[in-house]
Structure 1
Amino acid sequence: MKKIFMLSILFAVSAPLFAQSLKDIGTLVLLNKYADAKTSVDKFLAEPKNESSADAWYYKGRIYNALSYDTVNPRIEAMGLKSTSFDAFKKYQVLDAKDTRMKEEENASFLNLYYGFYDLGATFFNKKDFDNSTNAFKKALEVREYINSKKITYKETNVSAIDTSLILNVAIAATQAKKTSEAAAYYKKIVDAGIAGPGYLEVYQFLADYYAKANDQANLQPLLTQARAKYPENEFWDEVELNTVPKNTEDKTALYAKYDELLAKNPSNYNLNYNYAVEYYNSLYGNDGKPKDPVAAKAKLTSVLTQAIKYDKGVDATVLMTNHLYNIAADLSSAAVMVKGTKPEDVKKKAELKKQANAKMDELIPYAEKALKYYSEQPTLKGIQKGNQKIIVGYLIEIYGMKGDKAKVAEYEKVKAGLPN
């Protein structure tokens, strides 16, 4: 009998500790006793019969958010408390169709959570904790989007439909955290919203590079169309598109086709023309795979270089043309030397080859002189420019020597002697 009596006493004493009412929880909140209030509201909601209490979820939101500001708690715990608070407030609004308590305070709690997550994101970022910074900024964006979805308005501030700064913060933090795909997803929000301007160029460049590396043509092509429309002077888009062409040093058909496609849209693009010329030049005279039709390739290179020279503010294209024409002339001269026969047709062929070689030398001279004039007018020359200058002077000495023009040979020998080492 005593044992039964003792258990009854224990039950009677313990019962009030677990029988917290909403009124008691509300009192603890009013007294700012949030730690005690947290224990009480958690116990209250642990009871299945209380799970549908809208007021209890409202109090939980208030309590957890308040505790998130306690500096005793690490910032990572603060973020967890805020996340629980946000979920609790949303649960309250589901259970209370009239949204009585939140409306009484003008839903200020959501705005408070938005600013709170934003500040946490900045704090984590400054501490170089980029993973948590990304997550905090994402939560801020989630709260903001929830506010807009519920059409909640505030007297003191206007929560616009899109917060570009916050979206950029998410993307930048994700990039720093090496979460490239996540960063791309948030940068895409900027693009999808049609936002552009000097401050957003890198957004489009990041996405173009990301899609290109992933070989995601379905997203890359629409992105490049938008990017070219918004930043038409920027040549990055052409570079990205060219880089999507599989690298093949033996067969450059696909690469040449891409250059032709891009140049058809923008024929005055100097870099596009010059780089195209370099590809052909390396194929003809370098270590890349030789073209199947060298004659056609040389004619194409001449055509592309002629176009590049029109828009060249320096002489790089002119120098490349000089080298190209010299190589053609040298090949023709060598071919003439190789004709050893004495038959009329051999003599005719040899003479024709010499004539063609001389024509290419004559064609070369104006380009060579233009390049030398440019170099002579520069206050200083880079190492590669000095090298080109010596090569071109050598060309002219050789050409005029073959022509038997001693005066010109002497003139350029003098120029050669005056060149810096």
Structure 2
Amino acid sequence: MKQILFAAIAFVFALNVSGQDIKKVRNYYDKKDWPKAKEAVELMLANEKEQKNWEAWYYKGLVYSQFGKDAALKGSIQDVWIQAYEAFQKAMELDPKQTETYMTLRSYPVFDSYLELQREGNDFYNKQDYVNALEKYKAADKVGRFIFKNKWALSEVDTVLYYYAGAAAMQAEKMDEAISFFQKICDAEIGGEGYDVCYRYVTYHYDSKKDFEKAQKYANTGRRLYPNDTYYDKLDLDRERKNGVGPELFKKYEAVLSKDAKDYDMRFDYAAEMFNWLFMDQKAPADQKGTYFDKIISELKTCIQTDSKKPDAFLLLGKVYFNDAANMQDELKTIKGTTPADTQKKNDLKAKMETRMKESIPNLESALALFEGMNQAELMKDRRQKNEYKNTLYLLTEAYRFIGNTEKEKAYQKKYDALNG
């Protein structure tokens, strides 16, 4: 009997201690004495029995959140916002009804963890520390899913957070993680400014993996949400190119350019594809050569109107005239007869060749002026640009040689030799 009595007294004493401990924590918290509140709640939770006390965990979340907001105290707790969230989560596990009631009364303090982790992620992102930014965004998402699961707020797809998490992962070259975040946005078919990159990136990812079914799925959604985005048409172009260059590919170029007439690079690529097909591959049917020649000229002149600061279109336009003259020279060699008709044909071809060479020169000189206006040290480092610069000088030398302007020929030859020296 005596043992039972002592046991009962001990039980009551334990309850009183427990009640006194949580009361002490509440008292320190209400007085905003955060260090003492932290000490008291941690002392409580050091007791194994108190670890089943939902209110102790709830107050730990509150106290740690206050440490997170105080610049002088924040550094004393590692991952303070994660720890605050985990304390609230533990309280919900132990007593969801009581915890939710207390959460409601204090306007859901767990939101502080969500917002602050996201802010810290933004700070890292702005500093281009993408690895740490990604970790903070992932932590924020963990809190966000907890909030959403309990139906306190947020949505199934946290679009802004997922966008920046995906962007950070992409910059950190963690491609699988970038896809996982972007794909959530795509699967939810979220539209609006900025989110077009998600559909592009996910489409590209699956296309590069040769999973064309998934690539097409996301491309179709991207096209529907962003009808003026030509990215997916360009992807189609790349696929068509694998089937060979020719009229079918050119039709696709026309379709893309009908949507974005000011796309200099696309228009230039179109002209370059036709140039190679016509002059280098010699695949254009004889009766269509003139049509394609005129088309190339037209596209390149539009490029120049769009951006006259780039040398590429000027140089290619010069090459078109130059190569057409070279083709005429080859044709001239096939005329072996000496009849008046043959002689006339030869004279007509020579005159036309000279006209073409003269047409090439101002375009080549425009390209040269742009090359020479560049930072020469940078130009010499860029292998492609350097080769195009050399090619421009070579073509000018040959063009002036053809029309018999020895002075200009020698001047450009000298520049060309100096560049190769």
TM bucket normalised to smaller:
0.5 to 0.7
Cα offset for 1:277?
A: 1.5
Q: 1:308 aligns with which of 293, 296, 300?
A: 300
Q: CA 1:117–1:417 in structure 2 vs 1: closer, same or farther (change >3 Å)?
A: closer
Equivalent of 2:316, from 315, 320, 324? 320
Please say if residues 22 and 56 of structure 2, whose CA atoms lie closer than 8 Å, have aligned partners that are also in contact: yes
Verify: 1:37 aligned to 2:36, yes or no.
no
Separation of aligned partners in 2, 1:102 and 1:209: 39
Amino acid aligned to 2:105: E
Aligned residue among 307, 328, 333 for 1:332: 328
One-letter code aligned to 2:139: A
Amino acid at match of 2:178: A
Distance 2:373 2:361 in 1: 19
The residue correspondences of 1:13-412 to structure 2 (distance < 5 A) are 23=19, 26-27=22-23, 29-30=25-26, 32=37, 33-40=40-47, 43=49, 56-64=53-61, 66=63, 69=67, 73-75=77-79, 78=80, 81-88=83-90, 90-91=92-93, 94-96=96-98, 99-107=100-108, 109-118=109-118, 121=121, 129=132, 132-142=135-145, 149-150=151-152, 166-184=161-179, 186=181, 189=185, 194-196=191-193, 200=194, 204-205=196-197, 207-215=199-207, 216-223=215-222, 226=225, 229=228, 237=231, 241=235, 244-245=238-239, 248=242, 250-251=244-245, 255-286=249-280, 291=283, 293=285, 296=288, 299-312=291-304, 313=308, 316-340=312-336, 352=345, 355-356=348-349, 358-359=351-352, 361-372=354-365, 375=368, 380=373, 384-385=388-389, 387-398=391-402, 400=403, 409=404, 412=405
Distance 1:292-1:124 versus aligned 2 partners, 3 A rule: closer
In the alignment, is the contact (CA less than 8 A) between 1:212 and 1:240 conserved in 2?
A: no
Alignment partners' CA distance in 2, 1:113 and 1:302: 64
Task: Return the offset for 1:309.
Answer: 0.8
Shift of 1:256: 3.0
Structure 2 CA distance, aligned partners of 1:378 and 1:129?
42
Deviations 1:342-390 (A, max 9, x none): 8x8xx86786576456435424523423543675699747754464245
Change (3 A) 1:195 1:292: closer
- Kindly provide the CA deviation profile for residues 79-116 of structure 1, in whole angstroms up to 9, marking residues without a partner as x: 6533423424555785359x543333233x22333345
Residue 11 and residue 387 in structure 1: after superposition, are their counterparts in 2 closer, same or farther (change >3 A)? same
- Residues 131-178 of structure 1 show CA distances to partners (whole Å, capped at 9, x for unaligned) of 53232232354466579x536xxxxxxx99998765554334433554
Asked if the contact 2:321/2:359 (under 8 Å) is kept, the reply is no
- Secondary structure of the structure 1 residue equivalent to 2:239: coil
Q: What is the Cα deviation at residue 218 of structure 1?
A: 2.2
Amino acid at match of 2:63: A
CA, structure 1 residues 417+173, in 2 after alignment: closer, same or farther (shift >3 Å)? closer
Query: How much identity, in percent, do the aligned residues show?
Result: 13
Answer whether contact 1:284 1:298 (CA < 8 A) is retained: no
For the residues of structure 1 that align with 2:272 and 2:191, how far apart are their CA atoms?
A: 36
**Helix, strand or coil at the partner of 1:214:** helix
Distance in 2, matches of 1:137 and 1:131, equals: 10
Decide which structure has the larger Cα Rg and report it. Answer: 1
Structure 1 residues 15-24 or 206-215, which shifts more? 15-24
1:121, distance to aligned residue in structure 2 (A): 4.3
Mapped to 1, the partners of 2:45 and 2:348 lie a distance apart of: 98
**Which residue number in structure 1 is paired with residue 406 of structure 2?**
413
Question: What displacement does 1:262 show?
Answer: 0.8
What's the TM-score once normalised by structure 1's chain length?
A: 0.65
Work out the CA distance in 1 between the residues paired with 2:233 and 2:389: 25
Give the partner amino acid of 1:133: K
Whole-angstrom CA distance in 1 between matches of 2:342 and 2:44: 105
Distance 1:327 1:370, change over 3 A: closer
Q: Deviation string for 1:198-222 (max 9, x for gaps)?
A: xx4xx64465244224222322344
Q: Which has the higher helix share?
A: 2
